[in-house]
Chain A
Amino acid sequence: MTKRALASIAIAVALSAGLPNISWADTIKIANVIELSGAGATVGSNWRDALKLAFEEINAAGGILGEQVEVTDYDTQTDPTTSRAMVQKAIDDGAYVIMGPIYSGSVKVNMMVAQQNGVPQLTGAEAPFITDMGNPYIFRTSFGAQQSMPKLVKYLTEEMKVKSVAVAWVNDDFGKGGRDSFVAELEKNGIAVNADVSSEVGQADFAADVIKLKSSNADAIFAYLHEEESARLLKEIRKQGVTQPIFGETTLMNQKVVDLAGEAVNGVRGHVGLSANAPIPGIEEFAKKFEAKYSYKPDHNAIKAYMGAYVVKYVTTKNGKVDRQAFADALHGLTITPADEPGILMETSWDDKGEVNRESFLVEVKDGKQTVVTTLPKL
């Protein structure tokens, strides 16, 4: 009996030793740690598809430094704990750079693991705290909310002469994060918050929310919700005949909201960091390629991932070697222009905290089309 037990131990140990080991053979390993199931599956799929598109292009053009790029997807299930485990796994598998995730709650937890192991991470998250934690390996692919909200509030105060705002937001870490940075910015500028209305993910009926917004008598309404809920809110706003102007950030003016809410979106204005409708040749061309390949329209997360892939290519080529530390060092304080690397789409700079800086847009939805009112310069 003891012999058999010993044998079974030996077999178990031997089997488990055969698990994959780190190898730096002739491919560059990119770990795509991203939301592929759960609440974030939609944004995660956009990101994944665009990333795949970009690296297929890069590989077809000869790869990076003559080596092919191998992208592995790791599904975070939109769960911070799982995302942390996936980053650990990606590092065990020998990832050169980690791409993603998008949900700030996940990034908050897993960026520490990447930092401990010195692996650069290009995230799609927008919550302010991410670049405030002194992590030298984290880089954004789009604005943090602490950069986009001031641009919007500046517009509200200077152009629209708004004195009070009613805020509608979705009560999860996306909505709460946006709401908190927006309200902080309002307070800084002495603008009153007349109503602060939270709603649930998947909420169907916005009658109560709109009544509160309407009766607040604020000069303007600011809405920060996911696409489907944004559309339902806007429809209810029109239904109840609310007259105040409506503002938002990126998602509210999204094409999907327009598709669903139709006329109700017309007249909505807001700030957009990246937009598939931006009048930039590179972005227009990307949107066309993406739609041809996947037969749906890319959102801003797709653009982030596509640019991110080319950041990896550009920086690695510039360094002349596949080295994590050199990558992180080189990207701090770097500016990449489309002339240097067409895949970057727009001129973009990174500061010493990994924060992104580029042009952004003030848009208005007119006749179901997002139109750019002004292009806001780099800060």
Chain B
Amino acid sequence: MLHKLLGQFDTHIDTASAHCDIPCGIYDARIVTYYAVSALRQIDILLSLKDKGLSDTAFAMQVARNTAKKEEMAENCKHQTRIIWGDFMKPKNQEDMAKCHDAAHAIMLAGSAVKQDLHREDGEKLVAAANEFAKIFWASKGVKTKTVTTPYAPNVEVVEPDL
């Protein structure tokens, strides 16, 4: 009765969100590894451009495009990590908490390095950190993982849920 009555004044009542990232409950670490691999791919493309015999103009355009994309992919990797780390991860004990924090922090550092410069090892570090994060994420869901090689360049190993 009271609930129904309050409904009449709904538009004047302040709200508090019982927040879930929408769609509720859909968190998946594969998006982190996806962006990490994509950032590494952009590094490889950039490093190969000088051997392609492009005109100065074409070279400059390609560098600009792939550099922008490299930074976008690295930032996406960091962003998706922040969402999972901040909104999903609920480590069961202190040891889990430390591992989870270290893995997320490693992604932040490697992601920034990928954005700042053009070293393949930074991209490799980002993928490795994303894989470590994925292992912890899937373990927290009680899902086994497997390591597979991406069937596309840069053909690197990624941690996947063994569904």
A binds B: no
Q: Which residues of B contact A (CB under 8 A)?
A: none
